Amino acid sequence: MTINWFPGHMNKARNQIQEAMPDIDLVVEVLDSRLPYSSTNPLVDELREGKPCIKVLNKADLSDPNTTRLWIEHFEQQDNTRAVALVAEDRKQSQKLIQLIKSIASQKVEQKKAVRVMIMGIPNVGKSTLINALAGRYIARTGNEPAVTKRQQMIDLKNGVILSDTPGILWPKFENKNSGYRLATSGAIKDTAMEYEDVAMYALEYFAQAYPNQLMERYKLTSLSELKEGMQLLDAVGRKRGCLRSGGIVDIHKAAEIVLHEFRAAKIGLLSLETPTMIAAEEIIMEQERLARQAAIEEKKRLAQKGKRPQPPETESNQT
């Protein structure tokens, strides 16, 4: 499945970010702690121009805490980067972020100048919720639908920090196909841009491998040994939840909705969709695929050039 969702305002947002970046002291990128790699926008590191960055792993109350710790360690190994896990709705946790911002931009603080912070992140990771918590009042519109924020806005927190909020931006195409599925599983991509059944089957196959006990407990499955494929798992979940049509046929779409909604609400358990080790392996595969594609392109060019080469003139011996 290819997920391609890039509304026009997102392209405009990229240009706005580029124009505003020279005046920014620090970037805060909000991520979904359940999928920190897939919810990282590659454009952030490109657009921040080497400025300090805090990776905020939001929705920490929904993710596997052990996996979240691994991701924090992973991000803190990157240049000029700090990482913190929190729940944006918890104002006490969000206020600790202010202290981290000021400690990183200590020179500005000592000069009694406001620290200008740009908040970035893909849709539906909780940027607006975090901004409201930092401000202590309702400023940014929030919602379960991705891409709620449509334009830039400046927010003076009156504590030495000025926030620049940006619309959530996704990149036009996911090079890692798994990232598209994970984002769809989490709800970062509009439901109208995906096939529920495909996404739910992908999620169930992963849960069966990474969190078999939680999956079996939630859906009262006695064993997963005979449920290897996503369709088999989805069918089993549908039967357990009574998603049946006449003739005992499972309503696959209804079963898929149950799985995705319950994952997003952490009713299956505190689950993460990816680990640093998984991503390292996937990036190796992606690099191999890139090299193979490039080799195919070069070979095609070589053959095309060879076909255009002028033929040697005929000699008397081969003339008729």
Question: How confident is the model over 12-35, as pLDDT tens digits?
Answer: 767 778 888 888 999 999 999 999
Q: What is the pLDDT of residues 263-308, one digit of tens each?
A: 999 999 999 999 999 999 999 998 998 899 999 998 888 888 877 6
Q: Does the pLDDT of residue 8 top 60, yes or no?
A: no
**To 5 degrees, how large is the angle CA 244–CA 189–CA 134?**
120
E strand or H helix at 54: strand 53-58
The DSSP code sequence of 213-228 is HHHHHHHT-S--TT--
pTM of the entire predicted model: 0.84
Q: Is 3 a residue whose pLDDT tops 60?
A: no
Q: Which domains are delineated in the chain? A: 8-165 (3.40.50.300), 195-264 (1.10.1580.10)
Q: Is the pLDDT of residue 167 over 80?
A: no
Q: Are 150 and 195 in contact (CB under 8 A)?
A: no
- For all residues of the chain together, what is the average pLDDT? 86
